[in-house]
Amino acid sequence: MKFLLENSPHDRSDKNKTSVIMFMIIVGMIPAVIMHIYCFGLGLIWHLLISCPLAALAESVCLKLRGYSALKGMKDFSIQVTAVIYCLAIPPYLSWGLTATGIIFATVIVKQCFGGLGQNTFNPAMAAYILLLISAPTAMNNWSIPDHDTKYNAAQTYQLIAGKAEIKETADAVTSPTPLGQFKIEKSNRIKETNHIIVDALPRIRDFIHDNPMVAMNIAYFFGGLLLMLFGYVSTSQPVTFLVVLMGTAFLYSYLGRIYGFPAIAPIEHLVIGASMMGAFFIITDPVSSPTMVTGKIISAAIIAFLVVTIRTFGSYPDAVAFAALLGNSFNPLINKLVTPSRFGSAEKI
């Protein structure tokens, strides 16, 4: 007799089925997808059209080679979640070759080589993002400044992603570093000129809410994640801990920056620019690459939040959610060991 091994959760209620949870996570990202398309153009659609089928195909081949049904991976929607998060993280006009390389790496190396769903140690989407960021830093930091007068149609977007055309750097359409990178450059220059940091958040908030689409993106991630949290598809402990520790660490570095003269991003900027909300609700809450116990989830979220602000402040990469998430994932075996209770009647931990 052949016994089937099923991944957790083992609760038979529809709400707690893996496929339902993963599908609802995709639904929760719909506001961010719409906002991304509105702010950055149609590049995301082309990336999704490349990544989703390619990820499904790669996973099916890996499952077949491992002796499982090739359709198994398509039923739980987990690889589709990876593809959507990955596509939201990469620049809208990244070449199709890099897009394909990243999603294959996420599916084959990071997920299937570690044992598939429920076994992978690291978040596949973030691992793929870091692979591309290290391998092709110029392309991965080339985000077009959104301007409604220079939006590309579907055909033009395809030409850009296929490498058959280049973004025209005019007064209305230019490329720029990531928003957090720009803030770090500005604050570093300000230190050189004045030898101190003036943290004046409110005027800057008004400026970049009007000019910076990442504010709108973070708001979209927040409301999508909030709905998932309210309906019980995302734990409350991880996002709340992450955001509280993120703000606390940002206030600390902002204070120390004024004293010791190093560039520190204002706390409010940590929340509304970069991938903070995406990380809080859709990355650190990954049930596979996060600790099993609630206490462990809180510890992991706190570690990742601290690393995000630290790397943003002192590191060479302006946005650090992906790096912090993978570093946090590496602590999970130790965290699980420390917080898992002992068996009843035994001094040894489970």
Domain closes at, from 132, 150, 176: 176
Asked if pLDDT for residue 222 goes beyond 90, the answer is yes
326 and 348 in a common domain: yes
Asked if pLDDT for residue 88 goes beyond 90, the answer is yes
d(CA 204, CA 220): 20
Burial of 149-161, coded b for 16+ CB within 10 Å and e otherwise, reads ebbbeeeebbebb
Here the tokens at position 312 are 């943003």
Rounded average pLDDT over 337-346 = 72
176: which strand partners? 143
Looking at residue 238, its pLDDT comes to 93
131 and 53 in a common domain: yes
State percent of the chain over pLDDT 90: 38
In a domain, 332, yes or no: yes
254 and 183 in a common domain: yes
Domain closes at, from 159, 176, 193: 176
Looking at residue 269, its pLDDT comes to 85
Looking at residue 130, its pLDDT comes to 94
207 and 142 in a common domain: no
Alpha carbon 254 to its chain centroid, in Å, reads: 24
221 and 184 in a common domain: yes
d(CA 221, CA 276): 9
Asked if pLDDT for residue 162 goes beyond 50, the answer is yes
Cα angle 140, 141, 143 (rounded to 5 degrees) comes to: 100
How many domains, the chain? Answer: 2
202 and 153 in a common domain: no
Domain enclosing residue 230, as ranges: 178-350
pLDDT digits 0-9 by tens, 167-210 = 655 434 444 445 555 555 555 554 444 444 444 555 555 455 45
279 and 139 in a common domain: no
Rounded average pLDDT over 308-326 = 87
What SS3 class is residue 224? Answer: helix
93 and 41 in a common domain: yes
Specify the amino acid at residue 261: G
Name which of 19, 133, 132, 115 is nearest 71 in CA terms: 19
306 and 194 in a common domain: yes
Task: Read off the pLDDT band of 329 (50, 70, 90).
Answer: very high
Alpha-helical regions (H) of the chain: 18-28, 30-40, 43-65, 72-75, 78-89, 96-104, 124-135, 137-140, 154-161, 179-194, 201-211, 213-230, 237-260, 267-272, 276-278, 294-314, 321-339
d(CA 160, CA 147): 17
**Unique residue bearing structure tokens 């509105």:** 38
The DSSP call for residue 4 is P
202 and 73 in a common domain: no
- Considering the chain, what is the average pLDDT of its residues? 80
Range from 25-29, 121-125, 155-159, 275-279 carrying the lowest mean pLDDT: 155-159
Domain closes at, from 156, 176, 196: 176
Looking at residue 303, its pLDDT comes to 95
Task: Read off the pLDDT band of 249 (50, 70, 90).
Answer: very high
d(CA 24, CA 18): 10
**Unique residue bearing structure tokens 């003036």:** 198
In a domain, 206, yes or no: yes
313 and 164 in a common domain: no
295 and 276 in a common domain: yes
Compute CA distances 121 → 7, 65, 98, 117, 290, whole Å: 15, 21, 23, 10, 8
Task: Read off the pLDDT band of 142 (50, 70, 90).
Answer: confident
Burial of 265-286, coded b for 16+ CB within 10 Å and e otherwise, reads bbbbbbbbbbbbbbbbbbbbbb
In a domain, 1, yes or no: no
In contact, 86 and 102? CB cutoff 8 Å: yes
Task: Read off the pLDDT band of 308 (50, 70, 90).
Answer: very high
pTM of the model: 0.81
In a domain, 2, yes or no: no
